[in-house]
Amino acid sequence: MKKRVVSVLLLVFIVSMSSFAMHKFYMAIYQINYAPEKKMLQITARIFVDDIDKALEKKYGKKLFLGTNKETPESIELLKKYLAENFSLKVNGQSKTMNFLSKEMDGDVLVCYISIKDISKINTIEIYNSVLIDCFAVQQNIVNVTAFNIKKSFLFSETSTKQVLKY
């Protein structure tokens, strides 16, 4: 049942990505891949830029213009700070530092690239994701995790901001 819900949500997201109309739902997609040969978790976050701009403006009281020529270095620092406060991972019960690598625009979606280094063994991954939920109560964040050739998907919402994955 859970896989069916996630599949339907992914389909809706993909259809909306191909449209130029304003979206009427709030969703972001995160992909977490474990690369054992590099001993790292590689994370990609895909978030509608207008939504993250609104959330950051609400939180910090400044219009940031992410992904435009008006974007400033301060905008990127506030984005990093916001993501660090609202998206975190614990591996084997230990909080891990996320390294914000870069970001780019894909249409109206902000794509953020993040890594966590020095992960030699994984028994559990605890994911906390409340990105945009403070600004949009109907926000849904889908997190796909791929490790050891196993793919798991989780749906984060106002009522569910934490999940634990055991290997």
Q: How do residues 45-61 score in pLDDT, each as one tens digit?
A: 999 999 999 999 999 99
**Cα–Cα distance measured from residue 2 to residue 81, given in angstroms and rounded to the nearest whole number:** 31
> pLDDT value at position 25?
77
**Cα–Cα distance measured from residue 43 to residue 101, given in angstroms and rounded to the nearest whole number:** 10
For 88-145, the pLDDT digits (tens) are 999 999 999 999 999 999 999 999 999 999 999 999 999 999 999 999 999 999 999 9
DSSP class of residue 25? S
Decide if pLDDT at 72 tops 70.
yes
**Cα–Cα distance measured from residue 152 to residue 119, given in angstroms and rounded to the nearest whole number:** 19
Q: 6 by DSSP, 3-state: which?
A: helix
Mean predicted confidence (pLDDT) in 151-159:
97
User: If you compute the radius of gyration of the chain from its CA atoms, what whole number of angstroms results?
Assistant: 16
Whether 164 and 125 have beta carbons less than 8 Å apart is answered as yes
Decide if pLDDT at 20 tops 70.
no
Whether 52 and 75 have beta carbons less than 8 Å apart is answered as no
Q: What is the pTM of this model?
A: 0.84
**Cα–Cα distance measured from residue 104 to residue 67, given in angstroms and rounded to the nearest whole number:** 7
DSSP class of residue 83? H
Q: How confident is the model at residue 3 (pLDDT cuts 50, 70, 90)?
A: low
DSSP class of residue 26? -
Alpha carbon 83 to its chain's center: 8
Average pLDDT in the chain: 90
Decide if pLDDT at 69 tops 80.
yes
DSSP letter string, 100-113 = EEEEEEETTEEEEE
Percent of the chain with pLDDT over 70: 86
